[in-house]
Structure 1
Amino acid sequence: MFSGSIPALVTPFRDGTVDEAAFRAFVDWQIAEGSSALVPCGTTGESATMTVEEHNRVVAVCVDQAAGRVPVIAGCGSNDTKIALEHMYAAQAAGADAALIVAPYYNKPNQEGVYRHFAYLAERCDLPIILYNVPSRTITDIGVPVIHRLAQEYQTIVGIKDATGNLGRVTAQRLACGPDFCQLSGNDETALGFNAMGGRGCISVTANVAPRMVADFQRACMEGDWNGALALQDRLYPLHDALFSDSSPGPVKYALTRVRPDMPGELRLPITWPSDSSRTAVDRALEIAGLV
């Protein structure tokens, strides 16, 4: 269902509100540059500091602007199970193709609680679900037995964005859930190894800034051109690293002001403009990648 380069889109803000015109132009650019699907309102989209109304509007604008050219996987996660369900209903009504649901954060549920969170959502909305496992942010891990149980019991739970950084999980999850379970990397820097072990693509931060190059990298992986993929990995790696040299999405938004002057760099607190050293690292990485 989903594969290739899938940017976790930034949300452009101007004077404290969502800049819809800039966002629409950004969606068009991403599609023209080869992105194979889009994720609005993920972590990189600053969903944590959006109102419910803003969140749902950004998803709807993304779906409208994409106009069926590529799938839209709407960020719908919350640590409140019922709020996550409301986001799913809104995304489905807007025409999104799937929901990206992060593990419940802050609450620290046990594995039964994690299972019941996703089961509750799958039982009440038939929008396909991509699980999102990012323990570095949520503390909570979606364990392989829980992933297996969910995939076996609910046909609408179709895949996972794995940002654990543990490449062994790709094999463990494939063996547990079968080859049709869609595994997408949540880490650009390890996407090469992730794909080699059975992944189908990446929900990418770097694709915000270098969509064509990241799409070419993913295409090389899918075609088994590992030498070509490795060459692109070497060009992109400094950028993968630099975009997390300060709190994300600060460095990503700074990078976008370098490659797309029409994109505002405004951030919402508590995220702040990246440090001097971070901006220097981004500048150098953009030069290495040939983007400036």
Structure 2
Amino acid sequence: MQEIIGTGVALITPFEESGCVDHAALTKLVNFQVDNGVDYLVVLGTTAENVTLSTEEKEAVVATIIKANDKRLPLVIGIGGNDTRVVVEQIKNTDLTEFVAILSVSPYYNRPTQEGIYEHFKAVAQATDKPIIVYNVPGRTGSNIAVNTIVRLAHDFENIVAIKEAAGDIVQAMKMIQYSPQEFLVISGDDMIALPMTLAGGAGVISVIGQALVQDFSDMIRYALNGDVQEAYELHYKVAPSIDMIFEQGNPAGIKALLSQLDICEEHIRLPLVPIDDDLRDRLKSFLETYEN
């Protein structure tokens, strides 16, 4: 799975003021990623406000990204949920031809046991031949995937090839790297610790900030994968202040504000999320002015 080593970005869904999907801005965003050296694109993830998109909107978003990308970068699609039967049916009924893998979030709200999580991903893995990236994000799901569970899944199912690990726990991430099969990929889902995770043996990151500060963030991960520690940390500390800021008032409100200042899209976001306040917007603007100079 060389296609998902490096920097992937969890694309936002731009909206017009009317609330409709802004397909022109989405095309511009995809081209911005390609032109600045990102390694792969993640479609319909959390940052895409996936849960607020209708089925028709999701299909249109996927079509726009596929067309804009024009096979230039590998694509990963997000298909997950808290009803295993529904997730399995969605996977079976989705045309996955253009995608190298599926990113599937651990069931949220239900708070399953570790055995429940295992059985859920067993059903997901058996529903397709496509590679599966398990997504662990306890801050959103209400439950954590234990190291033993991911190691068990990695050993038992050939097409469970990676985990997007977003617990924010570097010790847990290191144990996943240590105890999972050698070919299994541990991908950071947390921008702030993406560098130490990669240096510890991880496979890179699926990033939010990476879609705004594309070149530096992607180069940082490339340096890390090559063992160029000093160069990597120079870029990390250059980018780091923006990471705190874009998550301060929720994702993707922060990253949309930053992308707006880069003239990629507008800030519009769907309820129950709301745009960031003026104070944070001004701080992001100041950061960007300093960063670009």
Pair in the same fold by TM > 0.5:
yes
Q: Which residue of 1 aligns with 2:283?
A: 281
Q: Which residue of 1 aligns with 2:11?
A: 9
Work out the CA distance in 2 between the residues paired with 1:227 and 1:114: 39
Q: Which residue of 1 aligns with 2:272?
A: 270
Work out the CA distance in 2 between the residues paired with 1:74 and 1:227: 34
Work out the CA distance in 2 between the residues paired with 1:125 and 1:151: 16
Q: Which amino acid aligns with 2:36?
A: E
Matched position secondary structure for 2:247: coil
Q: Which amino acid aligns with 2:285?
A: D
Q: C-alpha offsets along residues 120-166 of structure 1, whole Å, 9 cap, x if unaligned?
A: 11111111110100101111111111111111111110001000111
Identity across matched positions, percent: 36
Work out the CA distance in 1 between the residues paired with 2:90 and 2:59: 7
Q: Which residue of 2 aligns with 1:230?
A: 233
Q: Which amino acid aligns with 1:193?
A: P
Matched position secondary structure for 1:140: coil
Matched position secondary structure for 1:218: helix
Gaps of 5+ in 2: none
Q: Number of aligned pairs?
A: 290
2:78 pairs with 61, 65, 75, which one? 75
Work out the CA distance in 1 between the residues paired with 2:187 and 2:62: 20
> How far off its partner does 1:81 sit?
1.6
1:212 aligns with 2:215: yes
- Relative distance call for 1:91 and 1:234 in structure 2 (3 A) is farther
Structure 1 segment 138-149 matched on structure 2, within 5 A: 138-149=141-152
TM-score of the aligned structures, taking structure 2 as reference length? 0.94
Please tell me whether the aligned partners of residues 101 and 130 of structure 1 are also in contact (alpha carbons under 8 angstroms): yes
Please tell me whether the aligned partners of residues 163 and 186 of structure 2 are also in contact (alpha carbons under 8 angstroms): yes
> How far off its partner does 1:179 sit?
2.1
Structure 1 segment 38-187 matched on structure 2, within 5 A: 38-187=41-190
TM-score of the aligned structures, taking structure 1 as reference length? 0.94
Matched position secondary structure for 1:180: coil
1:250 aligns with 2:253: yes
Cα RMSD (Å) of the superposition?
1.6
Work out the CA distance in 1 between the residues paired with 2:112 and 2:55: 23
- Relative distance call for 1:13 and 1:243 in structure 2 (3 A) is same
Q: Which amino acid aligns with 1:71?
A: P
Work out the CA distance in 2 between the residues paired with 1:113 and 1:8: 27
Q: Which amino acid aligns with 2:133?
A: I
